[in-house]
Chain A
Amino acid sequence: MDSMTLDAGKPADPYPFPPRQFIDIGGLRTAYHVEGEGPEALVFIYGGNFGGADSASSAYAWNMQVAPLAKRFRVVVPDKIGQGFTDPPLRDEDYTMGAVVAHIRDFLVAMKLPPVHIVGHSRGGFASARLAMERPDLVRSLTIVTSGTLSPGVGTNEVVLARPPHPPFTRESARWVYENYCFRKEVVTEAWMDVVMETLANPDYRRGVDKIVGEGLGADLFLPDLARYKRETLTWIDEGRLQRPTQVIWGFNDRTALVERGMELFERIARHERRTTFNVFNEAGHFVYREHPERFNALLAGFVDLHSAW
């Protein structure tokens, strides 16, 4: 049934988002969205990390991908541990990127998905690449979208977004953050900000913020641990452990991860994996897939077709 018949007079949402579902992953109530059928499964991993107070990522970030790609593929979008509407870690020592990767791994296994085409953005690009190396049996292809977290070199996220001029947990703060991420302010829609505000108001999400900001686990644990983890992960790439087709996608106008960061990442991966491409979109900031959804989706669908099961 199309939404025109449900709500006559109102234009149909071109990107209807499937309802939130839950699954237990290691004692954590884990939120996810799923749509579409097909032998090939796409899994989207968004960016950010638990405990963000100025803005908040959630599965909705991919709403422009789900409906169009679900016409041909099974599309799955989980909320990461402590983000969106998934429970935060049970133990303080799990406020790490390693715990994020382990949670995604356990989610893929619990969902009984065939080897997936994993698409990771920003910090999610790091987690996706790490997973592709730790558990290649779970991953058929890897798409990394503007990931300053994974790229060697100087990421400028903390520079561009340092200390927003609005109080934490406010719509103004979230809007300021996303407008600075994006090339065009108009792509920061009210619908998107509604979901961000809903996430920021979620008590489970706020428990993560209390840990990361209030108790200082961000500065004391998450960031130093991520630095060690990144060193090891880049070493793994240099050793040739990334054994899956990889496309790196970058926004030319992303001030938080300049295009040179993408080129550096391509060079390190391409040395060992022939099936690597680097792709840059003009007039796109950090959220390439929200600024140019049609061309992004076409590039992704073609990549999945190229690297489908034989």
Chain B
Amino acid sequence: MTVLTPRTVQANDLVTQIFEGGAGNGPAVVLLHGGTPGLVPYAGGSHLWGALPETLARTRRVIAIDAAGSGGTPAGDGPLTVEVMARHAAAAVAAVADGPVHLVGHDLGGLVGALVALDQPGLLASLAIVASAAAAPSGDGVDNLTFLGAPEPASTRQAQFWAFDRMSYAHHHIDSTLLDGSVAAAESEAHRAVLRRMANPAAAAALTGSVLRAKFGLFRAAREAAFPVPTQIIAAAEDPLVSRDHMLWLFRIIAQHQSATQFHLINRSGSFPFREQPEAFLHVLTAFQDGLLAMAA
């Protein structure tokens, strides 16, 4: 199996942790993870992708980026917002890629990816938004109780297992590699610094407010003009954080004016379809990319 190599790149004044490997025809694939400190109890970082990067690296170049404020990348000095994360992600993509990339964003990473597409479409060959409650319309939904009664402190191995278990169709994918990576991410200086900041209600409100602002910006842009890049929406049938109907609505929104929009629903999976059903996920992800390549030929 190809092992990805860690290195750091400079992106928007942040020393950014990335993992890269593989080679192949067609654009590189860039992975943007979810799990933002203060918004969800699990600790974000590139470790969440599990075996996906290594599997992708067999046939293409892959770069996984630790988002601003997660894993090995600091949040910087200013307020942490989705816009800040998107500017950082765009700078990181520009720093590592030698052409337009297939950007894959999970959870909040999906919304960050959508902002990158809107702000700098030239960086992207396509966008995949995966199991993203952040990007999908909320539609005056009812309270989501998935994380009700989360154990404290959230940084322990037990608490991380609890969070993944709550988000999963079945717990079998929660292996020691995931838990080791999550505990390390939760104990990272970047993560702890953001948590300290989020203890201030104004900072937390700035982040949650930016999620809504970014989401509505996406909806408006997709309503008024073609969403600028081919986009696939990948939903998980048993995702407790965002229903298949919500994700289908996200597809409808992008599909208004973007011809090359696809929706995919993965069976028997919670919030991490690339971990719970890796083969089916890899199939729909790469088929879209291969199909775009065939269209361009």
Contacts and interface: CB of A to CB of B under 8 A. Distances in A.
A63 interface: no
Contact of B267 (A252, A274, A297, A298): A274
Contacts, number: 91
B254 to A, nearest CB: 8
B262 A280 contact: yes
A192 interface: no
Interface in B264-278: 264-268, 277
A274 B255 CA distance: 28
Interface stretch (B5-13, B66-74, B212-220, B288-296): B288-296
Interface in A259-290: 259, 263, 266, 270, 273-283
B284 interface: yes
Contacts of A275: 267, 280
Contact of B263 (A274, A279, A295, A296): A279
A145 to B, nearest CB: 14
A288 to B, nearest CB: 10
Nearest to B279: A306
Contact of A282 (B260, B284, B286, B295): B260
B284 A277 contact: yes
Given A294-B295, A295-B295, A298-B291, A277 B279 contact: no
B284 A299 contact: yes
B262 A298 contact: no
A266 B235 CA distance: 13
B248 interface: yes
A304 B262 CA distance: 19
B120 interface: no
B237 interface: yes
Contacts of A303: 283, 287
Nearest to A305: B283
Mostly helix, strand, loop or mixed at chain B's interface?
A: helix
The interface size bin for chain B is: 20 to 34
A301 interface: yes
A277 B262 contact: no
Contacts of A165: none
A302 B283 contact: yes
Interface in A164-219: none
A259 B248 CA distance: 10
A234 B29 CA distance: 40
A298 B255 contact: no
A244 to B, nearest CB: 14
14 contacts: A266-B267, A273-B267, A274-B277, A275-B280, A277-B265, A277-B284, A279-B262, A282-B251, A294-B292, A295-B262, A299-B288, A302-B287, A303-B287, A305-B283
Interface of B: 237, 244, 248, 251, 254-255, 258-268, 277, 279-280, 283-284, 286-288, 290-292, 294-295
Closest 3 pairs (CB-CB, A-B): A295-B291, A298-B291, A294-B294
